[in-house]
Structure 1
């Protein structure tokens, strides 16, 4: 967790399509799958999701999980993964401008939130620095699963805060006879978005292929006022300039993928190759842009109904070649490279005395390099190996289902730096992080159930927490790591009360996580001279005891066959326990509500999210004003044979100055002004 950036500069571009004064408009990309068989009714479906290797439905999971796909994903889709998920109970975003935003779950980010693509970790540099974008574009994602709370048992120490798994179906998993696909184009918004994406799948029942392509362009973001906040200007004298524009926030990206698979009645085996390119401005430095490229090769296979002992096996493997260069006035200043491989093998056994479960092996080997004048970490090789087991014991009757879940993970991690003229001799560090969990689900009756999960989680320190030693321009600090760190340990409890009755559902949950040695970046109060006469404040990675606790709630209530009422809310409280100081960048209490209407070919939605003022701040961190964000959506299905929908989306209808407290740049980079985004989507 980091204090606020001292940067004050922003940047300029052409005018976006915007609404200066309009009533509440409505919009959304609504997938026909969400309307199921009756286009006039709203349905709630249980979907198998990440967080359980046995593939149970989302309402049968012990851990709290949110699933976005079809209708809801289309409604929420934004330019970054973080902004797409921001607003889900318990989820905020780092928001380093509109182009680099990583999910924050329950106040935890960076190495404590595991970002995955089809169940394999995304290899990029987004956890190293807030100005580095996640190597996934939401345009081609078909489903996003968000596991809130510790999931280190199945996914490793970097999942102690939660998991975000983006699913793109680039390797076909099911038999397909014919051609299906979708296409989408949209324009407008506060950043004058112009993007398009197309996805096609074809097969003959035994062999299936997948292809997708997308392109995205944005201009500098239009904002409702000055880039620099009033509080920052009053605190340090930073002038309030660049009214109405967030300078150097434009972006230009594209990507494509090709995949194929042999499909059988009981499984599949396939492969895919994909590429991603992204060139975007860094709003903290108006002369700096990041040019990112990533290539990824995937292999995956799964077979079921294999026999009386081992009845299912699953294999996944991905190799990623990631590189981005930071360009200053068009010249390369620093280059970051991350190349590596990650894979897993999982076997599910037949029921043993009622127990259903899996045993799995996970491994990864990555090589990170930072080359250039702003390299503040040395080249590092990181290797992870882990063996895990997960078991479920069903109890109760068909009418009252109960179950107990338990498991463990034994891991070994090495983090070895290489000899470097700027960092000295190479060093070797090894860790043995182990995690354990015990959970349960108890059905009170057909509508009500209670879940609880107890967990002990351990995380090996990351390469930058160990070896950082230099000026980190994106955060405006001189960062210093600590090679003497032990594994980070935490114990947590999570509980939920759930209610589901026909087309209605509601859940409320609470969690408490205690870290014995939370690894964070803390200011020392010292200044380091990085150039003659130029100083940066020093910040050291330290391990401190800390507690995170909070509440989350969400509900969907069908008022009529066509009208649905939505509610949600979350709250996080995080402190160092030995000093009783608040931790930085913790989002305030948020409450939201909305109405969703669907009738025949027409659908509409309005959402209101209120974030309260955040005064519980860390040292050197400014408070953040509250805001009310009102958005509205409208979609209309054309009366044609192919499923074609027109949509419009209005954001920030009250034209408020929205600054997210979880954002590192909240005081120099607000959200966009009131705007209108329009588009069309076709499914065939």
Structure 2
């Protein structure tokens, strides 16, 4: 990683040069109602590429201070009950800007930063990007961040109880979906079935989900899509604010709280957050699952500068959690038994202390994000270090059985050339260096070193009614697995054999997005993807707690490549919105797990205990995934919303013409939401929803069918204006009929453990 200090030095030099070269400037303007011309107080404005925000005063006026004196940036304004508006502003023009907003009950396209080098209006983005804001994330009553977005059409989750969720997008998950945190790819042994996302769910101001191949801008592991977790923009200059959020779930007794404070003093920006969660085992129809609880504490801080030359922010965080693992499901009577065969009572299962086995995970992250204005363009960089320490305790709470330490160094540097509002060229280089070391008594994957680098060129051409874009990229990855011997009294057993693999690939993308008629937007994209095999696929040899199988890797695996076609149509009228998306994804040398001919192995632990486990091996085939998503939102009355979404994906093994394993079932979501205008209250809502999941009978030979089910949800909430901001309160309920069901991607289905039953969540968010 000798490049890192060099890159830091170069960025610091550019920062110093531009600090002297740029002069102080400000942006002033006004936000008004387009019909009445009356000012709109409290509208929020954002310049994402400068990480700057402000709001309008009682006269509808706004000011951005300490911004560059020249350059073109996308400015977005939002106000509840009005269409979101955005425009490219030229800072050198020094003109007052007026936004005239049109009233609307429909949420219009927002500015996004995922899938584009520069922030862009989503209507001009050829890739499908869905945005979920903080309020919806909080009111989802989710047990973790991935659970909070699992109802987005095309998004599903592989769950291990309430604590662990792994995202899948359009049937692809694990190392095919990239999670971005603080601008850097998250690296936390994500190849594991029971390895969740290590992110504080309270820290997300919004989440952008990119559906489809994103290898052009993000490299390997973005073959299926990207989940970008975005923190708050810093407050306006001279402001200091904060927030306290807390919630309680009746199912599992989950308590979660988070406190945050942030400020901006003459461009010196800062933020601090502490969050805590604790839960006992989840329950369903009279039963509580023992040792399915978890606890989690997260701390984070950000320090930075927002100046005329751009910004630089240093983010530091620690994610720490303990998660109980369930070894056995219920007996024939539906009861859970302890080691002596005694029935575990629900009162004992509700104890918050964890028993063996359990996971202990610490994830440390440091990220330096900068955007330096240079030569009329923007030099964006993210330098990050992550350390993931994953321990699994099986026989004793003092010594872990599995102990993995992963160090990841990542860099992402791209330069967007000066543009006239039409052409937007960008070039970039990205890379990662990793080391992984075993320190426990059990070994699932070998020690390894990995080094990869990628370079890309991207070009976007904007028109008055849309845009086209194209790009090309080259990636190279080298991974070296190490020998590992296990010493016994009189001999040594070789657990892993050394290997050295190289992978390289060219990828490309071509897309468009245009308003082809009034309120009608058409977008399409042809993109290729690339993914090198992960360490488990190449070198796994073992079973660890939380799994129900023995996995064997294959060091001769080839890289995966894909070619995907996307087409999307969106219609936005006064009282209705309609969205249709279709895709076809062909994946070559697709890597998957399979249990061949019911192969089993007798596994012996360090205490001499034996168990017979099914053996799963990593195989390759050509595969295809085809499907689509549809959404229809009716707003026949201003305060009444009827929202409907549908998603379906079909995965096929092209070698055998049989279904691919672990494909989510088709789903249909319906929600009626009433938003009355109540004196003294804001953002009030009452909602009732149905989640309809269809039967999944397209399964691989070793899978079992999963019946369909319908879940009833409901919620109510409102907010009060205070001197410091909005105080939000809400109550939401999930699975209110207490339905017994299995989700097809639940890993506890194999053990006969149902998904969670009825849950009611109470939440409040208080401005500070």
Counterpart among 707, 728, 731 of residue 648 in structure 1: 731
Per the alignment, residue 24 of structure 1 pairs with none
Per the alignment, residue 290 of structure 2 pairs with 247
Alpha-carbon separation, structure 1, partners of 2:450 and 2:404: 15
Per the alignment, residue 755 of structure 2 pairs with 671
Alpha-carbon separation, structure 1, partners of 2:575 and 2:118: 25
Per the alignment, residue 88 of structure 1 pairs with 152
Q: CA deviation at 1:147?
A: 0.4
1:152-198: CA deviations, max 9, x gaps? 111112011110111124xx667532212221011133111111101
Instruction: Please list, as runs of the form range in 1=range in 2, the aligned pairs for 1:364-375 lying within 5 A after superposition.
Output: 364-375=432-443
Per the alignment, residue 407 of structure 1 pairs with 471
Q: CA deviation at 1:205?
A: 2.8
Instruction: Please list, as runs of the form range in 1=range in 2, the aligned pairs for 1:440-589 lying within 5 A after superposition.
Output: 440-502=512-574, 504-525=576-597, 526-531=599-604, 534-589=611-666
Whether the 8 Å CA contact 2:402–2:441 is kept in 1: the answer is yes
1:270-292: CA deviations, max 9, x gaps? 21211111011112467311111
Whether the 8 Å CA contact 1:36–1:43 is kept in 2: the answer is no
Distance 1:41-1:61 versus aligned 2 partners, 3 A rule: closer
Is 1:658 matched with 2:719?
no
Secondary structure, counterpart of 2:688 in structure 1: strand
Counterpart among 178, 181, 206 of residue 267 in structure 2: 206
Instruction: Please list, as runs of the form range in 1=range in 2, the aligned pairs for 1:601-616 lying within 5 A after superposition.
Output: 601=681, 602-616=684-698
Per the alignment, residue 295 of structure 1 pairs with 364
Per the alignment, residue 280 of structure 1 pairs with 323
Whether the 8 Å CA contact 1:174–1:268 is kept in 2: the answer is no
Q: CA deviation at 1:514?
A: 1.1
Counterpart among 188, 196, 206 of residue 133 in structure 1: 196
Q: CA deviation at 1:444?
A: 1.5
Q: CA deviation at 1:116?
A: 1.1
Distance 1:190-1:594 versus aligned 2 partners, 3 A rule: same
Secondary structure, counterpart of 2:135 in structure 1: helix
Alpha-carbon separation, structure 2, partners of 1:347 and 1:266: 15
Counterpart among 42, 55, 71 of residue 135 in structure 2: 71
Alpha-carbon separation, structure 1, partners of 2:141 and 2:479: 36
Secondary structure, counterpart of 1:73 in structure 2: helix
Whether the 8 Å CA contact 1:296–1:318 is kept in 2: the answer is yes
Q: CA deviation at 1:210?
A: 0.5
Structure with the larger RCO, 1 or 2 (CA within 8 Å, 6+ apart): 1
Counterpart among 272, 284, 288 of residue 223 in structure 1: 284
Secondary structure, counterpart of 1:101 in structure 2: strand
Secondary structure, counterpart of 1:102 in structure 2: strand
Per the alignment, residue 36 of structure 2 pairs with none
Range moving further from structure 2, 417-426 or 113-122 = 417-426
Q: CA deviation at 1:664?
A: 2.5
Per the alignment, residue 636 of structure 1 pairs with 718
Per the alignment, residue 256 of structure 1 pairs with 299
Runs of 4+ in 1 over 4 A off after TM superposition: 31-35, 37-43, 172-175
Alpha-carbon separation, structure 1, partners of 2:305 and 2:78: 31
Alpha-carbon separation, structure 2, partners of 1:348 and 1:184: 38
Distance 1:675-1:528 versus aligned 2 partners, 3 A rule: closer
Q: CA deviation at 1:640?
A: 4.1
Alpha-carbon separation, structure 2, partners of 1:314 and 1:155: 14
Whether the 8 Å CA contact 2:123–2:521 is kept in 1: the answer is no
Per the alignment, residue 330 of structure 1 pairs with 397
Secondary structure, counterpart of 1:464 in structure 2: helix
Secondary structure, counterpart of 2:175 in structure 1: helix
1:75-114: CA deviations, max 9, x gaps? 2352223211111100000001111111111111111010
Whether the 8 Å CA contact 2:571–2:577 is kept in 1: the answer is yes
Q: CA deviation at 1:613?
A: 1.1
Q: CA deviation at 1:583?
A: 1.4
Whether the 8 Å CA contact 1:42–1:563 is kept in 2: the answer is no
1:616-649: CA deviations, max 9, x gaps? 1111211111111121111122364342122111
Is 1:393 matched with 2:461?
yes
1:569-599: CA deviations, max 9, x gaps? 1001001011111112211111111122222
Whether the 8 Å CA contact 1:358–1:390 is kept in 2: the answer is yes
Alpha-carbon separation, structure 1, partners of 2:381 and 2:574: 37
TM-score scaled to structure 2, two decimals? Answer: 0.78
Q: CA deviation at 1:49?
A: 3.1
Whether the 8 Å CA contact 1:439–1:454 is kept in 2: the answer is yes
Distance 1:120-1:503 versus aligned 2 partners, 3 A rule: farther
Counterpart among 617, 625, 633 of residue 707 in structure 2: 625
1:365-388: CA deviations, max 9, x gaps? 111223334322111111110001
Is 1:340 matched with 2:424?
no
Distance 1:108-1:32 versus aligned 2 partners, 3 A rule: farther
Alpha-carbon separation, structure 1, partners of 2:563 and 2:721: 55
Whether the 8 Å CA contact 1:498–1:507 is kept in 2: the answer is yes
Alpha-carbon separation, structure 2, partners of 1:265 and 1:293: 37
Whether the 8 Å CA contact 2:207–2:227 is kept in 1: the answer is yes
Secondary structure, counterpart of 2:498 in structure 1: coil
Distance 1:205-1:562 versus aligned 2 partners, 3 A rule: farther
TM-score scaled to structure 1, two decimals? Answer: 0.87
Alignment RMSD, CA only?
2.3
Per the alignment, residue 380 of structure 2 pairs with 314
Secondary structure, counterpart of 2:221 in structure 1: helix
Alpha-carbon separation, structure 1, partners of 2:743 and 2:125: 31
Q: CA deviation at 1:658?
A: 3.0
Per the alignment, residue 14 of structure 1 pairs with none
Distance 1:406-1:639 versus aligned 2 partners, 3 A rule: closer
Q: CA deviation at 1:41?
A: 7.4
Which entry has the higher C-alpha Rg, 1 or 2? 2
Secondary structure, counterpart of 1:638 in structure 2: strand
Distance 1:555-1:317 versus aligned 2 partners, 3 A rule: farther
Per the alignment, residue 182 of structure 2 pairs with 118
Per the alignment, residue 97 of structure 1 pairs with 161
Alpha-carbon separation, structure 2, partners of 1:89 and 1:596: 18
Range moving further from structure 2, 666-675 or 380-389 = 666-675
Per the alignment, residue 502 of structure 2 pairs with 430
Alpha-carbon separation, structure 2, partners of 1:37 and 1:535: 59
1:292-317: CA deviations, max 9, x gaps? 1111111111134x434xx1111111
Is 1:157 matched with 2:220?
yes
Alpha-carbon separation, structure 1, partners of 2:499 and 2:429: 27
